[in-house]
Amino acid sequence: MNLCEVLLEQAADRPGSAAIIEPRGDGRSSTVTFAELDTRSARGAALLRQYGLTEGARVVVLEPLSIKLYVILLALFRAGLVATLIDPAAGRGHVDSCLDRARPVGFVGSTKASWLRLVTRRLRRIQPAFCTGGFVPGTKPWGALEDLEPLRELAPVGPKDPALLTFTSGSTGAPKATVRSHGFLLAQHAALSRAIDLQADEVDLATLPVFVLANLASGVTTLLPDCDLRKPGAIDPKPVLAQLRRHSPGRTGGSPAFYERLLEGNREDVPDTRAEPSPLTRLTKLFTGGAPVFPDLLGRLQEQIPNGRIIAVYGSTEAEPIAHVEWSEFAPEDLERMATGGGLLAGLPVPEIELRILPNEAGRPIGPFTTAEFENLALPMAEPGEIVVSGKHVIESYLDGIGDEETKFSVQDQSWHRTGDAGYLDGGGRIWLLGRASAVLDDEKGTLFPFSVECAASQFPEIRRSALAAHDGRRILVLEVGRSERDGGTSSVLEGRVRESLAWACLDRVVVVPQVPVDRRHNAKIDYVALRELVEKL
């Protein structure tokens, strides 16, 4: 069985139920049912076949999060084609590099992406090309699928056949191409379904594309948010809060930066929020991840959702999910440990994954190992090192093996992935995160872990974000504060309070800056390349 077969079961079980609800502006929305999604994607598969695309061919998809995107993805999966996703916002160089690696032979994109195709030589050479919007020279209308008979027969794909190709940002080097097979997607659905407690007929405000696939396979209705998810930390929260009132989803999942914006919007004194209770109170489950989730945010979310479950999910592009923890599970001693340098609690590993802690060898290849060598190398409880994982929903290799040397190793015949995250296991088997293994500071004062400091700093309500760095042998903590603190001129007082509270970290300098650099995708992970450049200028 593969993911498409699971989706077909949902179309048969709940044909008239809403699969995806998409905002159209002014409070209006479009809805596609499970049966309609099944039929449209089958017609899309017929269209792709009509133009000669055969099993295993890669097709680049440049379509924003929408109903059309999932019709396209399912059409590609049904036809045995490989959906290739590239972020055009990353710049022309990134797009060209990804195209050179993927070598796609088909294109499906929005009107905007289709015009971009005309001025991008590598994209322009790709044929056939389909435009999902209006007419653009050199493309064929994706809407032509409506005139075709649905292709009901699924391509005979095996569990190891590729289904989805995505790329890392390449912020620290050339982008790595992550290949998800049909078997991987099915295993990931099973792990996510358990970890985030997916129940058929729920309504989920979903912001993460992989969660939408899991929703569809579980019979969950996906409500797409009315905002620009390219910058989750800068969204306008008002339309999203209006959606919560109008559709009353019971659950939601997204980046910490997305929920920071919803909380900020909820605090604003606008007529919509004065007239009735906060729409956040209607939620019963909130899952947040893709970046560090500090306890302060979890606590504030619980205040707004008093009767709901607030869960932090830990994972990565190559392994999602790895672990999760519910806010109600944080004991006072856990909070005390986080406030005094113990790192960030991520919870128990999911049952579908194997996890070990190895000595930190960041930047150096390791392995292969025999089983005995590996178990002898694995660190005991409470000893920090690099987190490594293995399982059916863990990517075994990158495209053409490029990137494997730094992030993969084998134990006998089993593939393991190096997360690049430092951490340790406590006596209960829970993971505590300590930050990027490559960002750990080792100097004459000893070893200092980024999350030890950043998690402790998060207890100050004035601090929006912090980042630990080193420059010229000095330990520097960079702070981003709220607008009122900047405007009030209290930065120097705060810097002193932080240094005093975090005396154990032996910081040489604490400095407030207008903005701590973060990643583009989630707007919540520290961009360490940009951070180093910033610190050099301080």
Q: What confidence tens digit (pLDDT) does each residue in 242-264 have?
A: 999 999 999 999 999 999 999 99
Is-contact 107 123, C-beta < 8 A?
Answer: yes
Express as a percent the part of the chain with pLDDT over 70: 96
Number of CB atoms found within 10 A of residue 254's CB: 25
Check whether 164 has a pLDDT greater than 50. Answer: yes
Check whether 434 has a pLDDT greater than 60. Answer: yes
The closest of 316, 328, 320, 326 to 346, measured between CA atoms, is 326
Distance CA 7, CA 26 (A): 31
Model confidence, pTM: 0.93
**What are the distances in angstroms from CA 162 to CA 59, 166, 316?**
12, 11, 19
Mean pLDDT of 57-62: 97
Mean pLDDT of 297-314: 95
Q: Please report where in the chains the tokens 């970290």 appear, as a residue.
A: 505
Is-contact 448 476, C-beta < 8 A?
Answer: no
Is-contact 29 15, C-beta < 8 A?
Answer: no
Q: What is the pLDDT of residues 375-412, one digit of tens each?
A: 999 999 999 999 999 999 999 999 999 999 999 999 99
Check whether 311 has a pLDDT greater than 90. Answer: yes
Mean pLDDT of 9-20: 96
Is-contact 98 167, C-beta < 8 A?
Answer: yes
Sorted by where each starts, the structural domains of the chain and their CATH numbers stand as 3-182 (3.40.50.980), 460-537 (3.30.300.30)
Q: In this structure, what token pair is assigned to residue 407?
A: 């992030």
**Given pLDDT bands bounded at 50, 70 and 90, which one contains residue 273?**
very low
Mean pLDDT of 334-359: 97
Number of CB atoms found within 10 A of residue 365's CB: 12
Q: What is the pLDDT of residues 80-135, one digit of tens each?
A: 999 999 988 777 888 888 999 999 999 999 999 999 999 888 999 999 999 999 89
Give pLDDT, residue 171: 53
Residue 184 DSSP code: H
Helix then strand then coil, in percent of the chain rounded to 5, is 40, 25, 35
Which residue blocks in 442-509 are alpha helix, DSSP H? 450-457, 483-488, 491-501
Check whether 221 has a pLDDT greater than 70. Answer: yes
**Given pLDDT bands bounded at 50, 70 and 90, which one contains residue 210?**
confident
